[in-house]
């Protein structure tokens, strides 16, 4: 009898486990099990009503990137407000960390369970597989017209815009004013001045790293952008073709590596992430670094108290200073929607981009707006924000609309790290260019 009881329990356990792992039709991937999913009580009730056969409810499933500690709470409030105003729309928002979001999305796509709306940084790979809807099909004209045209162009493939920007950040030079003053140097505007400033700071205090460099797997592509864009080069040429091994790029990377080899930078650029640099900058151990507009928040939250200021990124060869912009997006997967579902998705975006709500979204984690109306509101509210809004409106962006971007991004990081180990920059960039052109 005992044997039968144990056998029965074992089989029950196995069946139970199998049932747990077998979900998937309802859009709740088992991979996303650990992710916080935001759904209001009202939405639960609406769900029950749908199952009851009212037939009027429409469900929208969103996967959103987790920008920081406030993101999940913000979406939670958003869903509550949205559901209160549109009870017929069952909105579910799954917030995923940047470490997990690509895995979760790709797994869901390969299981034919793509989300309706995705908030992430890249879109070209999904577009290349014909998985997306053109932006103008899922966003109302009124909302679409709010976007900065320069931002929309970043999601242009063959004349069609496939994604809309949700927020942006821009980069600039941060410097410790006290250290520069003590070392008796001016804020550098050119590479020559930068080298001289590094020399002077090193002479003033050999324990301080004059210049912060991040060439890690996480953000080495940003270092490539800072130096090449400010030397007249970049990832692509004027015809938007890959131009990774241009003379300007070779000179730019060689200059960055020379700063490391001359001992003017942090000791381990291949492993010191931007956050390590920000901590060292906050602690007064790094005198100058290029970083995002969120650094003031980071320094304040970290309890650091240094006297720092912001300036344009130093350039070479008489080029204008170019700031690097980073932009994230919303895209809509083509899941064969009815007219009612498309209207619900448009309603979602109209609600999200309402000026006041959108300003809150942008300020939530210290980012910059991607809409002109949002920019105006923020510039009026905060003077320091006004200069950043100007910068972000004119900065360069990574060519993420090209499907080779993933390879280029990892490729330039590899080039930088090989160069740090003594590799020849020209040869490395030639190899990368040939590999990408294949």
Partner 1 sequence: MKNKFFRKIEPYIWILPSIILMAVFILIPIIFVFRMSLSDVSKAGIIKGFSGFANFTKVLNSSAFKLVLKNTIVWTVAVVCLSTILGFMLALILNNEFRGRKIARAIMVFPWATTLVIQASAWKFIIDTDYGTLNTLLLRLGIIEQSVNWTPTPEAYFTWEIACGIFVTIPFVTFCVLSGLQSIDSTYYEAATVDGANYWQKLFQITLPLVKSSLTVSTVLNIIYVFNSFPIIWTITKGDPANHTDTLVTYLYKLAFYNGKQGQAAAVSVIGFMILLVCSSVYMIYTLRKGDD
10 or 160, CB closer to partner 1?
10
89 or 257, CB closer to partner 1?
257
Which DSSP state fits 319?
A: P
> To the nearest whole angstrom, how small is the minimum distance from the Cβ of residue 270 to partner 1?
4
260 or 344, CB closer to partner 1?
260
> To the nearest whole angstrom, how small is the minimum distance from the Cβ of residue 292 to partner 1?
21
145 or 268, CB closer to partner 1?
268
Q: Are 97 and 66 in contact (CB under 8 A)?
A: yes
106 or 189, CB closer to partner 1?
106
Q: Are 254 and 425 in contact (CB under 8 A)?
A: yes
Q: Are 228 and 213 in contact (CB under 8 A)?
A: no
The dihedral sign for the CA sequence 355, 357, 359, 361? negative
111 or 384, CB closer to partner 1?
111
Say how many CA atoms lie within 13 Å of 130 toward its Cβ.
1
How far is it, in rounded angstroms, from Cα 344 to Cα 257? 52
270 or 311, CB closer to partner 1?
270
Residues lying near partner 1 in the complex (CB under 8 A): 7, 10-11, 13-14, 17-18, 21, 102-103, 106-107, 109-110, 125-126, 128-129, 131, 207, 215-218, 266-268, 270-271, 280, 285, 403, 406-407, 409-410, 414, 417-418, 420-421
> To the nearest whole angstrom, how small is the minimum distance from the Cβ of residue 221 to partner 1?
11
> To the nearest whole angstrom, how small is the minimum distance from the Cβ of residue 217 to partner 1?
5
Shortest CA distance to 370 belongs to which of 346, 351, 347, 353?
353
Shortest CA distance to 106 belongs to which of 219, 29, 217?
29
Alpha helices (runs of H) in 52-184, residue ranges in sequence order: 71-85, 101-110, 124-128, 135-138, 141-144, 149-152, 177-182
Q: Are 248 and 416 in contact (CB under 8 A)?
A: no
Q: What CA–CA distances, in Å, run from 141 to 150, 163, 323, 357?
A: 17, 14, 30, 18
- DSSP one-letter string for 172-226: EEEEEHHHHHHTT-PPP-BHHHHHHHHHHHHHH-TTSEEEE---STTTHHHHHHH
141 or 207, CB closer to partner 1?
207
> To the nearest whole angstrom, how small is the minimum distance from the Cβ of residue 404 to partner 1?
10
> To the nearest whole angstrom, how small is the minimum distance from the Cβ of residue 81 to partner 1?
32
> To the nearest whole angstrom, how small is the minimum distance from the Cβ of residue 228 to partner 1?
19
> To the nearest whole angstrom, how small is the minimum distance from the Cβ of residue 177 to partner 1?
22
- Extract the runs of DSSP E, i.e. beta strands, from 256-317: 286-292, 308-311
């Amino acid at each position: 009898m005992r044997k039968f009881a144990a056998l029965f329990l074992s089989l029950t356990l196995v069946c139970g486990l199998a049932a747990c792992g077998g979900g998937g039709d309802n859009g709740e991937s088992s991979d996303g099990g650990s992710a916080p999913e935001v759904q209001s009580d009202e939405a639960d009730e609406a769900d029950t009503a749908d199952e009851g056969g009212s037939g009027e409810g429409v469900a929208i499933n969103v996967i959103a990137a987790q920008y920081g500690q406030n993101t999940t709470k913000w979406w939670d409030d958003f869903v509550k407000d949205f559901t209160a105003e549109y009870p017929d729309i069952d909105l579910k928002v799954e917030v995923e960390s940047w470490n997990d979001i690509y895995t979760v999305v790709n797994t869901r796509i390969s299981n034919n369970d793509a989300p309706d709306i995705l908030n992430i940084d890249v879109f070209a790979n999904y577009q290349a597989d014909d998985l997306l809807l053109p932006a103008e099909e899922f966003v109302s004209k009124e909302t679409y017209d709010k976007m900065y045209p320069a931002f929309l162009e970043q999601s242009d493939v063959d004349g069609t815009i496939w994604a809309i920007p949700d927020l942006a950040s821009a980069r600039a030079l941060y410097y410790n004013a006290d250290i520069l003053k003590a070392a008796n140097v001016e804020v550098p505007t050119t590479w020559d001045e930068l080298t001289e400033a590094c020399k002077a700071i090193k002479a003033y205090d050999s324990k301080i790293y004059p210049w912060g460099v991040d060439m890690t797997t996480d953000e080495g592509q940003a270092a490539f952008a800072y130096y090449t864009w400010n030397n007249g080069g970049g990832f692509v040429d004027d015809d938007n073709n890959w131009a990774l091994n241009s003379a300007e790029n070779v000179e730019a990377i060689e200059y960055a590596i020379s700063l490391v080899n001359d001992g003017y930078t942090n000791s381990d650029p291949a492993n010191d992430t931007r956050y390590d640099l920000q901590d060292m900058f906050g602690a007064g151990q790094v005198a100058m670094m290029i970083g995002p507009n969120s650094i003031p928040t980071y320094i304040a939250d970290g309890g650091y108290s240094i006297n720092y200021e912001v300036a344009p990124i130093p350039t070479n060869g008489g080029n204008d200073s170019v700031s690097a912009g980073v932009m994230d997006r919303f895209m809509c997967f083509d899941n064969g929607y009815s007219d009612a579902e498309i209207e619900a998705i448009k309603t979602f975006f109209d609600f999200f981009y309402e000026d006041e709500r959108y300003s809150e979204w942008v300020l939530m984690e210290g980012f910059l707006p991607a809409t002109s109306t949002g920019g105006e509101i923020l510039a009026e509210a905060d003077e320091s924000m006004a200069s950043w809004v100007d910068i972000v409106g004119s900065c360069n962006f990574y060519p993420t609309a090209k499907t080779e971007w993933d390879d280029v991004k990892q490729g330039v990081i590899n080039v930088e790290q090989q160069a740090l180990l003594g590799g020849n920059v020209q040869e490395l960039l030639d190899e990368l260019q040939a590999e990408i052109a294949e």
